[in-house]
Amino acid sequence: MELGFNKNEDQLKQLCSRLRLKAEKTALGGGEKKISEQHQKGKLTARERIHRLTDQGSDFLEVGLFAGEGMYQEHGGCPSGGVIAGIGFVKGRQCVIVANDATVKAGAWFPITAKKNLRAQEIAMENRLPIIYLVDSAGVFLPMQDEIFPDKEHFGRQFRNNAKMSSMGIIQIAAIMGSCVAGGAYLPIMSDEAMIVDKTGSIFLAGSYLVKAAIGEDIDNEALGGATAHCEISGVTDNKFPNDQACLEHIRSLFDKLGAFEKSGFDRIKSQPPKENAEEIYGLIPADRVKPYDMLEIIKRIVDNSEFDEYKCLYGKTLLCGFARVDGWAVGIVANQRKVVKTKKGEMQMGGVIYSDSADKAARFIMNCNQRKIPLVFLQDVSGFMVGSKAEHGGIIKDGAKMVNAMANSTVPKFTFILGNSYGAGNYAMCGKAYDPRLIYAWPTAQIAVMSGSTAAKTLLQIRVSTLKGQGKTISIEEEEQLLKAITDRYNDQLSPYYAAARLWVDGLIDPLETRKVISIGIAAANCAPVEKFNTGIIQT
């Protein structure tokens, strides 16, 4: 046991070390040279602006750090999607912050940039959080304009969200700290208040070159759309400031005077650390992902005092459901049990698989949490639903649908963490991205796909071999092995949690020890929005 624990611990700590190194590199954006160029212009970088804006010593929960990871290589890449986003505290008030990173292609918008901005706005809207935009962008990345500009979830959707948030009473503050051009000019001006930094900030629908080409007028960008023009002549912006620091301090001053809004009223008491050693999580997750382990031991190292009040502990054992506290907040936890369990009838059920009884139990538990106004936490390590004639005749589809219905219609906030496998319909039932979790993060051990790499590769190989045989071609054993390896390697690349994070299937990757913090920040944010009435609609029994 000790040998296995140490092997597990070594592997997960190595994965976490790799995560930290990649995070540090990604946080440099366009690199040291581009950062230096920002400073030479008298500007702070996006991350420096966020650091100055947020309360000293407070947590900033970043969303989408690895957005764009490994993408757009033909254009030089787009670290973090060219924008920094997350949940932070300003004068003790929780808010969403979005800051263009001008070190990455001058802050230009790639497709993933639009997706990340919309995700940030979604978080603000769901949780009724104020949102701050720190604008410094050259606008749409023109070589990819067809993937950014016209569709429903493209660039223009953010302005629609501006209008919707305003009608919802969500506070929006914008600071123009660099370029703000073309359609992007509407974002700050549709906010409640727009400020601009003198000499470095500029805002216009068309820059000086386009104005010259379109109407023949000779004018420089500062005279056309600088701070003086818009604060003293057009009235487009509200105030100008001599530098980034003064502008950011003014935003802090505005937040110091905000009134209070209605809360959800989620229950919280004094926080207690887990009694069990949280760092033992590193050794409890098997290095071999097909090996079983006891998810209850993981839960005990996440929740306050390691106390977990299990619901229906003798029924539906491949799903753990129960009540606990995390950093003082009351939560309901739904987690895949990864060890092999024994039913009352003496049957053995595989860990990580959802059976009819466990789906039925989870549906009832989710409804109870909504009845009691308790936020839900999903811990995923799921291989999918049980298959085969016995499962089908037992109504697995009906019971699975019951669980999905209750989860999808849940109005208390949901938070999802992918610890290991997230395969097939199991991803859906356990509140995957398609089911609107308020936050969804993954551990470095996560894999997200329709099925496991080995299963998918063997299936794809069979299809390929069958196709070749249909064409009258034969394939040797050696060629089959080479083809299997090529398919497996390609599929495994897509299984990587970094692949998921790059495409914002998850909000980020975290060290397992950060799970408590993410849950706490997430519930505090969700507590700012009233809970709507719960109604599942029709559930087949």
| Section 10-37 average pLDDT | 97
Are 26 and 60 in the same domain? no
Strands (DSSP E) contained in 365-452 are: 376-382, 384-385, 414-423, 439-442, 447-449
Q: Which of 255, 279, 300 is the last residue of a domain?
A: 255
Which residues, other chains included, contact 148 with Cβ-Cβ below 8 Å and sequence gap of 6+? Answer: 109, 110, 111, 113, 114, 140, 141, 154, 155
The answer to whether residues 204 and 71 belong to one domain is yes
**pLDDT value, residue 266:** 97
Q: Could you tell me which of 133, 212, 208, 219 has the C-alpha nearest to residue 178?
A: 133
Share of the chain above pLDDT 70, in %: 98
Query: Of 446, 480, 537, 389, which is closest to residue 19 (Cα–Cα)?
Result: 446
Q: What is the mean pLDDT of residues 244-262?
A: 95
Is 3 inside a domain boundary? Answer: yes
Contact 398, 357 (CB under 8 A): no
Average pLDDT over residues 413-436: 95
Domain end among 225, 255, 285? 255
- Residue 409: which pLDDT band, with cuts at 50, 70 and 90? very high
Q: Which helix (H) or strand (E) holds 227?
A: helix 227-228
- Domain contains 284: yes
Give the rounded percent of residues in the chain with a pLDDT score beyond 90.
Answer: 71
Residue 500 within any structural domain of the chain: no
Query: Could you tell me the residue range of the domain that residue 490 belongs to?
Result: 451-495
**Dist CA 365 CA 403 (whole Å):** 9
Is there a contact between 528 and 128 (Cβ–Cβ < 8 Å)?
yes
Over residues 52-64, the mean pLDDT reads 97
Mean pLDDT across 398-411: 95
* Statement to judge: residues 477 and 429 lie in one domain: no
Q: Give me the number of domains the chain comprises.
A: 3
Asked if residue 540 is part of any domain, the answer here is: no
Q: How far apart are CA 120 and CA 157, in angstroms?
A: 12
How much is the pLDDT for 183? 65
Same domain, 132 and 270: no
pLDDT value, residue 453: 65
Phi, psi of 14 (to 5 degrees): -65, -40
Per DSSP, 433 falls in state G
Per-residue pLDDT, 151: 84
Q: CA–CA separation, 539 vs 433, rounded Å?
A: 22
Residues 74-87 have pLDDT tens digits of 999 999 999 999 99
- Note whether 460 and 515 are same-domain residues: no
Same domain flag for 79 and 145: yes
Domain assignment present for 223: yes
Please give the pLDDT value at position 480: 74
Give the span between the Cα atoms of 295 and 300, in whole angstroms: 9
Report the Cα 183 to chain-centroid distance in Å.
Answer: 26
456 lies in the same domain as 475? yes
**Shared-domain flag, residues 248 and 361:** no
Mean pLDDT of 281-295: 94
**CA–CA separation, 6 vs 280, rounded Å?**
10
Whether residues 167 and 278 share a domain: the answer is no
Identify the three-state secondary structure at position 459.
helix
The whole-number pLDDT of residue 417 equals: 98
Using CA atoms, how far residue 522 sits from 37, 171, 179, 254, 529, in Å, is: 36, 19, 32, 24, 12
CA distance linking residue 206 with residue 47, whole number of Å: 28
82 shares a domain with 6: no
Task: Please state, in angstroms and rounded to a whole number, the distance separating the CA atoms of residues 485 and 305.
Answer: 46
Q: In whole angstroms, what is the distance from residue 309 CA to residue 328 CA?
A: 15
DSSP 121-181: HHHHHHHT--EEEEEEE--B-GGGGGGTSSSTTSTTHHHHHHHHHHHHT--EEEEEEEEEE
Distance CA 173, CA 193 (A): 5
Helices 515-526 and 111-127 cross at an angle (nearest 10°) of 60
The predicted pLDDT at position 474 comes to 77
521: domain CATH number?
A: 3.90.226.10
Q: What is the pLDDT of residues 261-287, one digit of tens each?
A: 889 999 999 999 999 999 999 999 999
Residues 359 and 212 in one domain: no
Mean pLDDT, all residues of the chain:
92
Determine, yes or no, domain membership for 357.
yes
**Does 208 reside within a domain?**
yes
Supply the DSSP symbol for 63: S
Query: 186 with 110, same domain?
Result: yes
Tens-place pLDDT, residues 103-123: 999 999 999 999 999 999 999
Q: Alpha-carbon distance 451 to 5, whole Å?
A: 27
* Summary count for the chain: helices (H), strands (E): 20, 20
Convert the pLDDT of each residue in 334-356 to its tens digit: 999 999 988 888 888 888 999 99
| Tens digits of residue pLDDT in 451-495 | 666 676 777 777 777 777 778 877 777 877 787 787 777 777 888
Angle at 217 between CA 213 and CA 223, to 5 degrees: 115
| Average of per-residue pLDDT across 165-173 | 96
Residue 312 counted as domain residue: yes
Alpha-carbon gap, residue 236 to 218, rounded angstroms:
22
Give the confidence band of 30 by pLDDT, cuts at 50, 70, 90: very high
Q: Name which of 18-27, 303-312, 480-489 the model is least confident about.
A: 480-489
Radius of gyration of the chain (CA): 25
Q: Spell out a b/e string for 413-423, using b for 16 or more CB atoms within 10 Å of the CB, else e.
A: bbbbbbbbbbb
DSSP string for 307-327 = --EESSTTSSTTEEEEEEEET
